[in-house]
Structure 1
Amino acid sequence: MKKFFLFLIVFVSLNAAYAQVDEASKNKEVAFKAGEQITYKLRYGFLSAAEAVIRVENTPLKFEGHPALHINAQAKTVGTFNFLFKVKNEYHSFIDPQTLLPYYYTETRQESKYKHTDKVIFDHEKNTIIADKGTFPYTGDVFDFLSCYYFARNVDITGVKIGDKLQMRYFLEDGIHAMTITYLGKEQVKCGLGTFNCLKFSPTIIPGRIFKKNSKLYLWITDDKNRIPIKANVEIIVGSLTMDLTQASGLKYPLNPVKK
């Protein structure tokens, strides 16, 4: 049950990964800048369930002698869900402003009676990840939740066709995992900030206590230079979950809703 509201941050970060990711696939022009702040709300049916705020900030900290950007995400339950299953989670990722690869990641999760913390160091010289549960060797590019979201916004998907299956790798608690995402084409989608031209994706999900066997997760990302996820929807065992973009400020590029 503790993973129910972690679903929000998974939507906002991990599931935004939508292309085969390596350094060569990244656009030269970075899609965001320090000062960006975006807010998402999660609804369970018609009920507001949770909210996540993600900020990009400058930081005086340096890693491996290099400057870094600080990404800070906070997710919490709201309204009735504070009484049913209170959640207050916080995530921090420090990334290279040029390569967008992570240096350091921390998370503090309090989900009802469950508590979890983790500190993760990405050693790019030795290709190892050092976390609370051990040391993990890796090859290629591997991300945490937040850095994977921001890297994915910068991936060049010019050659992606409808039906193509793409992949991204991420580290979570005790190992390196991969997620497969299918590109479904373009649609106009409405969120809290208006209607936008979007790219539509369907990340693979694993059936279990939350998802039905045939559940489909759909994710819509702005078809512009920002590449911000604005909406996501998935059916669960009982009802459905919807993520909605409700606020965006400090963007590098202006949002351009469709004029009706």
Structure 2
Amino acid sequence: MLPSWAFSQNSAFKAGEKLSFTASYNMSGVLTELAQVNMETSEVKTSKATLLRLKCTATTYSKWDSFFKIRDLYESYVSPTSVKPYLYKRDIYEGGYTKFVQYKYSHSKGTVESLIRKKKKGGGTYDQNKTLNISSSTKDIVSTIYYLRTLNLSSYAPGKNMSLTVLFDNKPTEIVISYLGKETINTNIGSKTCYKLAISIKNSNVLKGTNDNLLWLTADENKIPVFAKFKVAVGNGELKIKSATGLKN
């Protein structure tokens, strides 16, 4: 039986929302702004439904391109109300490494048709196709980020944990979200009282430390992600909001 929070309905965002962030990474002990991250929503009509396209891009600033060029695109096509995903695409370029991933969800069958496309060493590409079994609540990384904004966090007591299943690189991964309480922080869009969340991956050491991977969502009806801190094996960094337009509330 699914917990009550699994049935949250979206009242936090709509088509036309645009969030812009600066991404910083710890280089030789100094947090350095390296890239811009944008999150945008738009409406997409299919023959069967009207979906929300959740588009996330990461682009290094030009002065860092010669050092480590990043051109990443992540997008998920979801139900505007439940944020249930129907199609996911990931197309990345990171320092010469490229990868394309696509998931087509069939929730009635409990499956995902997965395609992963990689470069061959001698040139050209090759495809890996798989059919994956998923639970009814499984999401990709993009729809998970937006889904967190639909939760009724105002009803949570500090210390409450919840588990979410995220499909990443064809592996269902259990992510644990811990609600730490409210905190007021200064941001580029003003002083904001926020819900503070800690994020960890169950049975994995990809994310390092206890409460070292944190996300702040505004404690209002929009629940905008305004600040994030992360710590991984190769270092740590931050994501800070620059601007927010097209808000629903």
User: TM-score when scaled to structure 2?
Assistant: 0.83
In structure 2, the residue matched to 1:189 is 185
More strand by share: 2
1:96 matches 2:92: no
The aligned counterpart of 1:33 is: 14
- Matched residue, 1:155: 151
Q: In structure 2, which of residues 166, 171, 176 is the aligned counterpart of residue 175 of structure 1?
A: 171
Give the secondary-structure state (helix, strand or coil) at the position aligned to 1:204. strand
Amino acid at match of 1:58: E
Partner of 2:11, secondary structure, is coil
SS in 2 for 1:225: coil
Residue 5 of structure 1 corresponds to: none
- Structure-1-length-normalised TM-score: 0.80
Which deviates more from structure 2 when the two are superposed, residues 141-150 or residues 237-246?
237-246
Q: Whose relative contact order is higher, 1 or 2, with alpha carbons under 8 Å and at least 6 apart?
A: 1
In 2: Cα distance, 1:39 partner to 1:250 partner: 12
| Residue in structure 1 matched with residue 37 of structure 2 by the alignment | 52
2:92 equivalent to 1:109? yes
SS of aligned partner of 2:146: helix
Aligned-residue sequence identity (percent) comes to: 24
**Runs of 5+ in structure 1 lacking a partner?**
1-18, 254-260
Tell me if structure 1 keeps the 8 A contact 2:91–2:100.
Answer: yes
- Contact 1:215–1:235 (8 Å) recurs in 2: no
Q: Give the aligned length.
A: 228
Contact 2:199–2:211, Cα closer than 8 Å, also in 1: no
Q: Distance in 2 between matches of 1:164 and 1:118?
A: 33
* Residues 1-260 of structure 1 mapped to structure 2, 5 A cutoff: 22=6, 24=7, 26-27=8-9, 30-44=11-25, 45-62=30-47, 65-132=48-115, 133-204=129-200, 206-207=204-205, 216-235=212-231, 240-253=236-249
**Offset at 1:188?**
0.4
> Do the aligned partners of 1:48 and 1:79 also contact (CA within 8 Å) in 2?
no
Q: Secondary structure of 1:149's partner?
A: helix
The 8 Å contact of residues 49 and 79 in structure 1, kept in 2 or not, is answered as no
- Whichever residue aligns with residue 33 of structure 1, its letter is K
In 2, are the aligned partners of 1:21 and 1:168 still within 8 Å (CA)? no
